[in-house]
Structure 1
Amino acid sequence: MKEKVFSLSGDDFTVKTVDSGDQVHDICTCKGKAISARDKKKFTDMQGQELFTLTNKTISLHKSMHGVSPNGQHDFEVKGHFKLLGTHSTCTFTNAADGKETAIEIKGDWIDRSAEMTWEGKPIATIARSFMNVREIFGDKQTYFVTVAANVDLSLIAALCVSLDERANE
């Protein structure tokens, strides 16, 4: 996941995946709004179809984000929790496969530039953030290396990465 260096909003990302043959494929994009009171970010697939919009919840003690799909069927919320060192967030949503309320725990340490996402105690994704690279030094733009378990929604994991990025910028 790479934050684009030249963007008006400063929060545009492209999400790519690498298959077993080292072929790179674009998965989705995230476009931030240049002027937005609620810090909106729109996720679209590569054909331009909106997947969901991620907005900052304005009335919350810790930075929280809310994701809403165009049809309202795939809503989720990412709530930040207080932690003295590092970051702790929870993403809650209704699982489309079985209709159950689901929670993904996100715990990380931005000093180490890493985080882990778990569901029912099992790791589903890990994030490593590239630190001393040209894009970050000269453009203040981050690159995230995300490893995602099989059958996990890549766009949701990308949204969680963007939420963590927003908390780190807070």
Structure 2
Amino acid sequence: MPPQLAPVNPPLGPRPATADFFRPQQVTLEMKEKVFSLSGDDFTVKTVDEGNITDVCQCKGKAISARDKKKFTDMQGNELFTLENKLLSFNKSMRGVSPSGEHDFEVKGHFKLLGTHSTCSFTNAANGQEVAIEIKGDWIDRSAEMTWDGKTVATIARSFFNVREILGDQQTYFVTVAPNVDLSLIAALCVSLDERANED
């Protein structure tokens, strides 16, 4: 059973809160690991709660010639942001660049002998506050936690009830996201961690 995560108030994310990406209830995202190194294809981020499958956003790796860029769009094809590597960064860093430049974020990796430690920084759209989400855990095993201000905003795990047997495969993992947290941001953090792990 996934953990019960407390709602986050005000809504947390670099983009203004909308019903497409912010949910009043806890949701679980289905993600694929190494998706671009395996196929280079686009993939759709979905919620998989209680048999209710909903498309959230798409991540496109094929349409962009630069290997290190991933474009995220809503389900109508409108660009949300492009995830790109920061050049000349010692510890792998990526940034999300929105079309307007107003909803950007940065993901910085920190050197660690064991496990994963990264920080995602952005200006919160709801109140203008500078935010840093800490991501810690064992990314190889897909067991990690995202926290902000002492609160857990998302957890990552290999299995989710028996959904894996129904929908998933060895490349599938699940992210439980607290209410009022930007789902597209959490999906982007997972992709950036995956990209970093593939290059380590």
TM normalised by structure 1 equals 0.85
2:100 corresponds to? 71
Q: Unaligned stretches of 5+ in structure 2?
A: 1-30
TM normalised by structure 2 equals 0.73
1:139 corresponds to? none
1:108 offset after TM fit, Å? Answer: 1.6
Q: In structure 2, what is the Cα distance between the partners aligned to 1:87 and 1:8? A: 22
Matching of residue 100 in structure 1 with residue 113 in structure 2:
no
Q: Unaligned stretches of 5+ in structure 1?
A: 137-141
Q: 1:28 aligns with which of 37, 43, 57?
A: 57
Q: In structure 1, what is the Cα distance between the partners aligned to 2:90 and 2:118? A: 13
1:6 offset after TM fit, Å? Answer: 9.0
Query: Are the aligned partners of 2:142 and 2:173 in contact in 1 as well (CA < 8 Å)?
Result: no
- 1:9-45 superposed Cα distances (whole Å, 9 cap, x missing partner): 62633110134x52101000101146415x0000001
2:42 corresponds to? 12
Q: In structure 2, what is the Cα distance between the partners aligned to 1:88 and 1:150? A: 23
Q: In structure 2, what is the Cα distance between the partners aligned to 1:78 and 1:11? A: 23
Question: Where do residues 7-156 of structure 1 align in structure 2 (5 Å cutoff)?
Answer: 10=40, 12-19=42-49, 21-33=50-62, 35-36=65-66, 39-129=68-158, 135-136=169-170, 142-156=171-185
Q: In structure 2, what is the Cα distance between the partners aligned to 1:4 and 1:29? A: 15
1:161 corresponds to? 190
Q: In structure 1, what is the Cα distance between the partners aligned to 2:143 and 2:42? A: 21
Q: In structure 1, what is the Cα distance between the partners aligned to 2:44 and 2:84? A: 18
- Tell me the secondary structure at the aligned position of residue 47 of structure 2: strand
Amino acid at match of 1:95: N
Q: In structure 2, what is the Cα distance between the partners aligned to 1:5 and 1:117? A: 21
Q: In structure 2, what is the Cα distance between the partners aligned to 1:65 and 1:7? A: 17
Amino acid at match of 1:145: F
Structure with more contact order per residue of length (Cα contacts < 8 Å, sep ≥ 6): 2
Larger strand proportion, structure 1 or 2?
1
Residue identity over aligned pairs, in percent, reads: 80
| C-alpha RMSD of matched pairs (Å) | 2.6
Amino acid at match of 2:66: S
Query: Are the aligned partners of 1:5 and 1:135 in contact in 2 as well (CA < 8 Å)?
Result: no
1:111 offset after TM fit, Å? Answer: 3.9
Amino acid at match of 1:66: R
1:167 offset after TM fit, Å? Answer: 1.3
Query: Are the aligned partners of 2:36 and 2:61 in contact in 1 as well (CA < 8 Å)?
Result: no
- Tell me the secondary structure at the aligned position of residue 62 of structure 1: coil
Report how many aligned residue pairs link the two structures: 162
Q: CA 1:11–1:85 in structure 2 vs 1: closer, same or farther (change >3 Å)? A: farther
Query: Are the aligned partners of 1:17 and 1:27 in contact in 2 as well (CA < 8 Å)?
Result: yes
- Tell me the secondary structure at the aligned position of residue 167 of structure 1: helix
Query: Are the aligned partners of 2:34 and 2:195 in contact in 1 as well (CA < 8 Å)?
Result: no
